Amino acid sequence: MPLQPSDDCAAPALERPETRLVLAISLDGRLAPAEGGAAQLGGKGDRRVLDTALAWADACLMGAGTLRAHQSTCLIRDRALLQQRVDQGRSAQPTAVVVSRSDGFPLQWQFFRQPLERWLLAPKAPAEGFDRWIPLGHSWPERLETLYACGVRRLALLGGASLAAELLQADCVDALQLTLVPTLLGGPHTWLPVDPNPLPLSMLGAGAWSCDGLEDLGEGEIMLRYRRQRVH
């Protein structure tokens, strides 16, 4: 029997989760090779700061294309971080929230064997494989308010490019965590929107972002953190 929307998510909150975009990008701002597919960017240092971001998050948001490319999601590997979450009364792994406008995810994928809770944000309920279905809604502010009503307070956005672009265009990204990897990829798969829908002007001016940290990760990689500054 298809999943029904959960009662605790039925009435969206007027608040939304703090949303952090977490990406490893090439020197030319690409997420994947020109031909597409999984880039496998980032070394040991990036893996460490990714673990920290996953441990911070209540849930991780990923696009259907990213899931299809990897057939799995990122898990926390650091045992101390896993234990810390358990000691705090949280699940060992953050919930994986997949955004899709269609269904049809093969259950033999590793994703469906990973030890975490799986939610689907989609127009219709999946037949199987997910623990919770959340109707897609009309806009990203609305969708994030629904996730907040479901208990998500901190959200890590893991990509891909189209999903990252949608949330940036909606001005729904509160923080950036970018690992700059010393390689060039070329091609169209940039982390910034390249379609005709521009970024909001409020994101482009001086003072729209403030530096929240910089770390040398070794192997030529640098992690940059920026926080969105909004005028209310």
Q: Is residue 2 part of a domain?
A: no
Q: Is residue 3 part of a domain?
A: no
Per-residue buried b or exposed e for 94-113, using 16+ beta carbons within 10 Å of the residue's own CB: bbbbbbbeebebeeeeebee
Query: Above 60 in pLDDT, residue 49?
Result: yes
Termini Cα distance of the chain:
45
Q: What is the pLDDT of residue 189?
A: 82
How far apart are the C-alpha atoms of 228 and 57, rounded to whole Å? 18
Query: Above 80 in pLDDT, residue 125?
Result: yes
Beta bridge partners of 30: 190
Give tens-digit pLDDT for 203-216: 888 899 999 999 99
Q: What is the pLDDT of residue 32?
A: 79
Beta bridge partners of 20: 156, 175
Provide the number of structural domains found in the chain. 1
Domain coverage including residue 132? 18-228
| Average pLDDT of the chain to the nearest whole number | 89
Query: Above 90 in pLDDT, residue 196?
Result: no
Number of Cβ within a 10 Å radius of residue 12: 18
Give tens-digit pLDDT for 65-74: 889 988 999 9
Q: Is residue 1 part of a domain?
A: no
Q: Is residue 10 part of a domain?
A: no
Q: Is residue 7 part of a domain?
A: no
What is the rounded average pLDDT of the residues 89-109? Answer: 93
Query: Above 70 in pLDDT, residue 39?
Result: no
Query: Above 80 in pLDDT, residue 195?
Result: no
Q: What is the pLDDT of residue 199?
A: 86
Q: Is residue 189 part of a domain?
A: yes
- Residue 67 sits in a domain whose CATH number is 3.40.430.10
How far apart are the C-alpha atoms of 149 and 42, rounded to whole Å? 34
Q: What is the pLDDT of residue 158?
A: 92
226: pLDDT confidence band, cut at 50, 70 and 90? Answer: very high
- Residues counted in the chain: 232
Q: What is the pLDDT of residue 202?
A: 86
Question: How much of the chain exceeds pLDDT 70, in percent?
Answer: 91
What is the rounded average pLDDT of the residues 78-94? Answer: 97
Q: Is residue 84 part of a domain?
A: yes
Task: Identify the residue with better confidence: 177 or 7.
Answer: 177
Q: Is residue 4 part of a domain?
A: no
Q: What is the pLDDT of residue 232?
A: 63
Q: What is the pTM of this model?
A: 0.91
